């Protein structure tokens, strides 16, 4: 099962881009699962369900959604694997610029938009700076030169990433992005995997700097999704 | 210049010789100072707790910096020469084969015509992606008669194609001059100030209405933004292929604009409905239902008509200027 973590600031176009990729993958008869992590409320699960993909939703409530993510993602991966998904995509809203759901050896994608301002790339932490692929959306609203200036700011803080412009509405660039999904990390379990960057200051073992994934490393205030 | 020697420079020398390195460090929240310390020493002595607060590890910072430096040094490498671009046909939306192999050479202008939704932007997209049968059209693109290195797909330093898109809006809170300077700096041109002056001057020659360097980009008129973007592309872009998506809307001198873009030896593909622009092209690809349906060579008779079309266009332009200056159009 190919598994990717996708994150990005609220309303940057994560769901729109994922939906366009899902359409391209479904044209090739691929079975897809999506897990959506959010804080208080989301309707994204309905949009995914309309496409006929398997969906799980997890709301973190009072916890930082990325902390909540790391306590639940292993079970989600097992769920996707048991349901014979060929692709599992996790979407998480990057509400806190300091935390990031990206895992070592798991293809990490960050979605940000051209309208967020040229100062934004440097304000976002590991979610952007440690991603393998950075998708820039809403290019239809600005000129080519402005897209280039924005992309150069992204490149400055993550020079090793593949940076692509994708339009979440028309799907321009989505075929190209799908070809990258087709070579994403191929796994059965997250056992033994480690976060790309620790997530300090909250309430659980991961707040204390834990990066290993697995039941035995989770202590303190842990909440579990219903799977 | 090699990377090793950069690490041995003092921070003070880095600040003056490589200002982009200072930009890189500050964009991670670091506060470097122009001291006698070498860059190598600076990296080795960063406080891990401070890095943790900034959300980056020393290892990752080092990795990013190496990638960044390599990218920066690559910008000054010469661009690979593109002698030809070949489009090998795929199929249209109903699966009908295109059955064609079309080779384009530098200095050529190719127009792409067809109704909205017919697949003009998709053809431009196939070229930008150097498609290898991996887009819905199944077209293949060759560069210099060969399947090109896939580095063309993701390179930001040496982009194969420069795009001039339909949309010319701005959202950034900058003046025209600041914006162009930032764009020039992102391209690491050697003489940014000179380029900025040239671009602003060219843009004013193309635009119907003049604008000053301190006009916010967000308040430029449609014609002014278009003129600015054309001048910017002509002067800053080194890409050997230029894709232009529908620039016809009034407000700029289209003939001058095209002449400016063609001046350098580029392959130009232009999606257009404008008869003057279409006749300036060497050939027209007619797109129908997602496929290249027909190729029309601009004929002698058409070129003759171009002269009268231009007269017509100039007449309209003069009338537009009279309206603008408060004249009446009782006698035209
Ligand atoms: N113009 C334009 N709008 C876009 C593009 N991509 C997304 N949008 C719009 O931006 C809004 C937010 O998009 P979503 O895909 O819901 O964003 P998200 O990142 O999933 O949002 P959350 O999950 O709520 O954080 C929607 O109204 C989209 O239609 C794009 O490329 N261009
Ligand atoms: N040969 C083709 N096969 C399948 N889909 C195609 C083909 N050509 C174009 N399309 C799709 O048709 C839609 C409209 O094409 P587009 O290039 O945006 O049209 P235009 O720029 O001419 O208005 C796009 O979604 C595009 O991906
Ligand atoms: Mg969403
Ligand atoms: Mg179009
Ligand atoms: Zn957090
Ligand atoms: Zn925690």
Cα–Cα–Cα angle for B274, B278, B284, nearest 5°?
130
| Cα–ligand 2 centroid distance for B247 (angstroms) | 19
Q: How far apart are CA B43 and CA B63, in angstroms?
A: 11
**Is B81 contained in some domain?**
no
Residues of chain A by 3-state class (helix, strand, coil), percent to 5 = 35, 20, 45
Establish if A85 belongs to a structural domain: yes
Is the pLDDT assigned to residue B151 strictly greater than 80?
Answer: no
Please state, in angstroms and rounded to a whole number, the distance separating the CA atoms of residues B184 and B54.
29
B266 and B182 part of one domain:
yes
Same domain, B30 and B107: no
Q: Do B19 and B112 share a domain, yes or no?
A: no
In which element (H, E) is residue B8 found? none
Task: Tell me if B291 is assigned to some domain.
Answer: yes
Number of domains present in the structure of chain B: 2
The answer to the question of residue A224 being in a domain is no
Which residues 114-133 of B are in CB contact (within 8 Å) with A? 121, 125, 129
Most B CBs within 10 A among A96, A112, A125, A159, hence the mutation to make, goes to A159
Are B233 and B282 in a shared domain?
yes
Decide if B136 is inside a domain.
no
pTM of the shown model: 0.83
Q: Ligand 2: which of B97, B119, B137, B166 to mutate, judged by most atoms within 8 Å of the beta carbon?
A: B119
Among the candidates B59, B76, B93, a domain finishes at: B76
Query: Whole-number mean pLDDT of chain A?
Result: 89
- Residue range(s) defining the domain that contains residue A60: 2-217
Over residues A29-48, the mean pLDDT reads 92
- Residue A140, pLDDT score: 85
Per the domain annotation, does B292 fall within a domain? yes
Residue B143 covered by a domain:
no
Residue, of B96 and B257, whose pLDDT is higher: B96
Count structural domains, chain A: 1
Checking if the pLDDT of B154 tops 80, the result is no
The shortest C-alpha distance from B72 to chain A (Å) reads 10
Distance from Cα B116 to the centre of ligand 2, integer Å: 9
Q: Does residue B332 belong to any structural domain of this protein?
A: no
Q: Give the H/E segment covering residue A179.
A: helix A174-181
In this structure, what CATH number is given to the domain that contains residue A190? 3.40.50.300
pLDDT at A208: 65
Is residue B289 located within the same domain as residue B173? yes
Q: What is the domain range of residue B174?
A: 102-118+154-324
- Banded pLDDT at A221 (limits 50, 70, 90): low
Q: Give the mean model confidence (pLDDT) for residues B119-134.
A: 89
* Residue A48 pLDDT grade (very low, low, confident, very high; cuts 50, 70, 90): very high
User: What interface predicted TM-score (ipTM) does this complex get?
Assistant: 0.78
Is B75's pLDDT higher than 80? Answer: no
Give the pLDDT band (50/70/90) at residue A201.
low
| DSSP letter, residue B149 | P
Same domain, B63 and B112: no
pLDDT of residue B252: 74
B161 and B57 belong to one structural domain: no
Are B23 and A156 in contact (CB < 8 Å)? Answer: yes
Question: Would you say residue A87 lies in a domain?
Answer: yes
Determine the average pLDDT of the residues in B248-266. Answer: 75
Contact of B172 with B179, CB cutoff 8 Å: yes
Overall average pLDDT of the A151-156 stretch = 91
Classify residue B89: in a domain, yes or no: no
Cβ of A151 and B229 within 8 Å?
no
- Is residue B28's pLDDT more than 70? yes
- Please check whether residues B45 and B159 belong to one and the same domain: no
* Interface list for chain A against chain B, based on CB atoms closer than 8 Å: 97-98, 114-115, 117-118, 121-122, 125-126, 129-130, 139-146, 148-149, 151-153, 155-160, 162-164, 172-173, 175-176, 179, 197-198, 200
Q: Is the pLDDT of residue A202 over 60?
A: no
pLDDT band at A11 (very low <50, low <70, confident <90, very high): very high
The answer as to whether A23 is a domain residue is yes
Which stretch of A140-149, A154-163, B173-182 has the lowest confidence by average pLDDT? Answer: A140-149
Query: pLDDT per residue over B297-330, tens digit each?
Result: 988 888 889 889 888 888 888 888 888 889 998 8
Mean pLDDT (whole number) for B164-184: 86
CA distance B46 to chain A (A): 18
Inside any domain, residue A124: yes
b vs e for A3-12, b when ≥16 Cβ sit within 10 Å of the residue's Cβ? bbbbbbbeeb
Indicate whether B42 and B162 sit together in one domain.
no
Rounded-to-integer distance, Cα B120 and Cα B290, Å: 8
Residues B230 and B298 in one domain: yes
In B, minimum Cα distance to A127 occurs at B55
pLDDT of residue B13: 93
Q: Residue B1: its pLDDT value, please?
A: 63
């Amino acid at each position: 099962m190919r598994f990717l973590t996708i994150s990005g600031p609220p309303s940057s176009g994560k769901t729109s881009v994922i939906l366009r990729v899902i359409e391209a993958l479904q044209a090739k008869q691929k079975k897809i699962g999506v897990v959506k992590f959010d804080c208080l409320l989301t309707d994204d699960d309905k949009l995914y369900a309309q496409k006929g993909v398997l969906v799980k939703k997890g709301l973190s409530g009072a916890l930082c959604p990325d902390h909540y993510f790391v306590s639940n993602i292993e079970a989600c991966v097992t769920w996707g694997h048991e349901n014979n998904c060929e692709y599992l995509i996790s979407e998480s809203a990057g509400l806190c610029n300091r935390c990031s759901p990206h895992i070592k050896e798991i293809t990490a994608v960050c979605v940000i938009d051209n309208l967020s301002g040229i100062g934004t790339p440097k304000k976002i932490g590991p979610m952007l700076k440690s991603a393998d692929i950075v998708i820039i959306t809403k290019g239809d609203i600005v000129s080519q030169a402005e897209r280039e200036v924005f992309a150069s700011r992204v490149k400055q803080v993550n020079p090793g990433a593949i940076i692509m412009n994708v339009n979440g509405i028309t799907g321009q660039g989505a075929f190209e992005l799908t070809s990258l999904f087709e070579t994403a990390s191929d796994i059965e379990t997250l056992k033994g995997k480690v976060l790309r960057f620790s997530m300090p200051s909250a309430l659980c073992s991961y707040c204390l700097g834990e990066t290993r994934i697995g039941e035995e490393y989770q202590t303190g205030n842990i909440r579990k999704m219903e799977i | 210049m090699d990377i090793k020697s950069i690490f041995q420079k003092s921070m003070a020398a880095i600040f003056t010789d490589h200002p982009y390195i200072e930009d890189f460090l500050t964009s991670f929240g670091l506060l470097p100072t122009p001291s006698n310390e070498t860059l190598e020493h600076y990296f080795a002595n960063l406080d891990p707790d401070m890095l943790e607060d900034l959300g980056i590890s020393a290892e990752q910072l080092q990795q990013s910096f190496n990638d960044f430096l390599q990218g920066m040094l690559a910008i000054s490498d010469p661009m690979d020469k593109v002698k030809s671009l070949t489009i090998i046909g795929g199929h249209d939306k109903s699966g009908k084969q295109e059955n064609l192999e079309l080779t384009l050479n530098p200095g050529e202008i190719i127009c792409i015509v067809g109704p909205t939704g017919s697949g003009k932007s998709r053809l431009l997209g196939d070229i930008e992606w150097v498609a290898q049968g991996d887009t819905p059209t199944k077209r293949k693109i060759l560069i210099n008669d060969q399947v090109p290195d896939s580095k063309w797909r993701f390179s930001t330093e040496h982009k194969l194609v420069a795009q001039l898109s339909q949309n010319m809006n701005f959202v950034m809170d900058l003046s025209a001059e600041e914006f162009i300077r930032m764009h020039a700096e992102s391209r690491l041109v050697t003489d940014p100030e000179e380029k900025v002056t040239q671009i602003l001057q060219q843009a004013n020659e193309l635009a119907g209405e003049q604008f000053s360097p301190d006009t916010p980009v967000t308040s430029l008129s449609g014609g002014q933004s278009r003129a600015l973007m054309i001048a910017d592309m002509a002067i800053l872009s080194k890409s050997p292929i230029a894709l232009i998506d529908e620039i016809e809307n009034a407000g700029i001198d289209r003939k001058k604009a095209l002449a400016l873009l063609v001046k350098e030896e580029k392959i130009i593909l232009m999606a257009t409905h404008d008869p003057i622009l279409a006749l300036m092209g060497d050939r027209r690809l007619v797109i129908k239902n997602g496929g290249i349906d027909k190729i029309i060579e601009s004929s002698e008779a058409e070129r003759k008509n171009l002269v009268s079309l231009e007269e017509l266009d100039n007449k309209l332009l003069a009338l537009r200027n009279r309206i603008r200056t408060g004249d009446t159009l009782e006698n035209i």
